[in-house]
Structure 1
Amino acid sequence: MNLRSLSPDQGRAGPPIRLIVLAGRPRKGAHPLAERFGVSHKCLIPLAGKPLVAHVLQTAANHPRIASLAVCIEREGFEPIYDVLTRLPGRGTVALVPARDSLADSVRAAAEGWEGPVIVTTADHALLSESSIDALLDTLETADIAFALTRREWVEAAHRAGHGHYLRLRDGEFAACDLYGMSGPAALRAIEVFRGDRSGQRIARATGVLGLLRVMLGMETLCGAIARASRRLALKVGAVILGDGSQAIDVDDDRTYAVVRDLLETRGEEQIEAAPRLAVA
């Protein structure tokens, strides 16, 4: 298992991409932040002068390889999402897709009819940067499916209160960046890993019960976990480790809302350029 350096200029050319933005409500009902701000969905709460989801959609609109956008949300959210989209630069195609009961089914529905690579993120990822998308696309050049992580120390460097959940492996603690990619339709079967709500169930589907135990006991390395997942899924799995710890910080509660608001204000909403990163291929 090799680690390879990624230069900032890699991956800028290639096939067009469909970006899927997951914006649906939790199954248990309205999100507390949505209730606090009096809106139907968390993705519509105001943040730094515009709806939360607008930050993600703006990044998508600016990226040269994103030619198709699919937003998964309940039908009652179609109209406010459409209003957000009308304020963004018009480029590529946009589809509003009714959210399904599970993340896996929503992604499958949103990817329907698209023959090229697909990237999936969440509507609360207001700090998502173009450089992180580039890094994931670089990894997809040699992988069937890919996902983005960052190290705990880099999250804490971005903001000391930025994240609360880490994957503890033998070679470090990692945070997920809610950014995933699939090279094409044949790789879509990997989304079954995300069926259900518990992270332990997802790890077990990807690596097997033995892999889950090794991860839980801190005995597994990142490369080892990826190798197990590749064998179990019969697909080549890749991961990119982003040097920008803010990429693991999304808006989930009052604390992270304040963190993301502060980071957006501090950085003037400029694209957050990732530090040098490594890809696990």
Structure 2
Amino acid sequence: MQAQWTCIVLAGQRPGPDMLAQHFGLEHKALVPVCGEPMICHVVRTLHLSPHIGKIIILSQDIEHLRSAVDAAGGAILVESQNSISLSIKAQAETLGFSSPLLVTTADHPLLTVAMIEEFLRHADGDVAVAMVERQTMLKQFPDAQRTWLRFSDGAWSGANLFALMTQKSSFALELWAGAEQDRKKAWRLFLHFGLLLAIRALTRSVGLHQALEKAGKRLGLDARLVSMSDPVAAIDVDKLSDHLLAENILMERETPSGDT
């Protein structure tokens, strides 16, 4: 299968100290070990295994500290990022000129699998697509899961750290993202950027997330889609110690042949 996608991996640091990195005596969250290997290694190696991915670009404010880990996982292009996540992605998209569609993921997603990438890219359509996991899908496998849920009329949703930018029009979404990054975990505040009515409908849960994204996209003149992921693990990134413990347990289970005790 011919590789068609360029993947951008976000491996930067938000302002202030990262509590998880500090727990492990590290400065960079992307280097926190999961099952004895830096998180970013798991991500980069998985991307190399996907037949859909051609070029891999790592964005970080401190690329030299990540170089050895990235090289150990098969290598990637390391690019110094700006302070804004969205503007950093936009700069790369403009440099590439959308010669290939872009998949965006994060370095704190060590549970990412080739199957997740396959499912997301198979269903990604339009100009922009966002992967999410619905709460019931998560609770069936992880009844005690603690995530940030965006609640809408079609369920409660948690992000899966997978984004597809497929056309030049997606630059409009990145520009909006630059002004709304601080609102990413408050649905009504996020949709306030698309107008008061949509924000009220999000606040009162009188609109589904699928429809809300489509309406928000139309405000920007683009086609925005939600991809509902079937594997709840897609929504498990590693932000805190409880996530870290869960991630290590899941990875160890994957490595244990079925039937073994």
Classify the secondary structure of the residue corresponding to 1:116: coil
Classify the secondary structure of the residue corresponding to 1:149: strand
Contact in 1 for aligned 2:3/2:51 (Cα 8 Å): no
Question: Matches of 1:107 and 1:21 in 2, distance apart?
Answer: 9
Equivalent of 1:167, from 122, 140, 150? 150
Q: What's the CA shift string for 1:143-199, capped at 9, x where partnerless?
A: 110011111122123323433211111121111111101113342221123223122
Q: Show the 5 A alignment for 1:116-195.
A: 116-140=100-124, 142-195=125-178
The aligned counterpart of 2:5 is 17
Q: Does the C-alpha gap of structure 1 residues 269 and 226 become closer, same or farther in structure 2, counting only changes over 3 Å?
A: farther
Kindly, what percent of the aligned residue pairs are identical? 28
Equivalent of 1:203, from 191, 196, 200? 191
Q: Does the C-alpha gap of structure 1 residues 79 and 49 become closer, same or farther in structure 2, counting only changes over 3 Å?
A: same
The aligned counterpart of 2:64 is 79
Is 1:48 matched up with 2:35?
yes
Cα RMSD between the aligned structures? 2.0
Classify the secondary structure of the residue corresponding to 2:126: coil
Contact in 1 for aligned 2:128/2:163 (Cα 8 Å): yes
Cα distance, 1:222 vs structure 2: 2.6
Equivalent of 2:90, from 108, 112, 116? 108
Q: TM-score when scaled to structure 1? A: 0.82
Cα distance, 1:213 vs structure 2: 1.5
Contact in 1 for aligned 2:169/2:222 (Cα 8 Å): no
Classify the secondary structure of the residue corresponding to 1:111: helix
Question: Matches of 1:269 and 1:251 in 2, distance apart?
Answer: 21
Cα distance, 1:209 vs structure 2: 2.3
Q: What's the CA shift string for 1:57-108, capped at 9, x where partnerless?
A: 1111111121111111112xx2332212222346xxx321112111111212
Contact in 1 for aligned 2:42/2:73 (Cα 8 Å): no
Q: TM-score when scaled to structure 2? A: 0.88
Question: Matches of 1:44 and 1:110 in 2, distance apart?
Answer: 23
Cα distance, 1:243 vs structure 2: 1.1
Contact in 2 for aligned 1:163/1:249 (Cα 8 Å): no
Classify the secondary structure of the residue corresponding to 1:267: helix
Cα distance, 1:14 vs structure 2: 6.2
Q: In the alignment, residue 166 of structure 2 is paired with which amino acid?
A: S
Q: Show the 5 A alignment for 1:240-279.
A: 240-268=227-255
Q: Does the C-alpha gap of structure 1 residues 198 and 131 become closer, same or farther in structure 2, counting only changes over 3 Å?
A: same
In structure 2, the gaps of 5 or more residues are none
Classify the secondary structure of the residue corresponding to 2:255: coil
Is 1:96 matched up with 2:78?
yes
Classify the secondary structure of the residue corresponding to 1:173: strand
Classify the secondary structure of the residue corresponding to 1:197: helix
Classify the secondary structure of the residue corresponding to 2:182: coil
Deviates further, 174-183 or 150-159: 150-159
Classify the secondary structure of the residue corresponding to 1:238: strand
Classify the secondary structure of the residue corresponding to 1:113: helix
Q: In the alignment, residue 69 of structure 2 is paired with which amino acid?
A: V
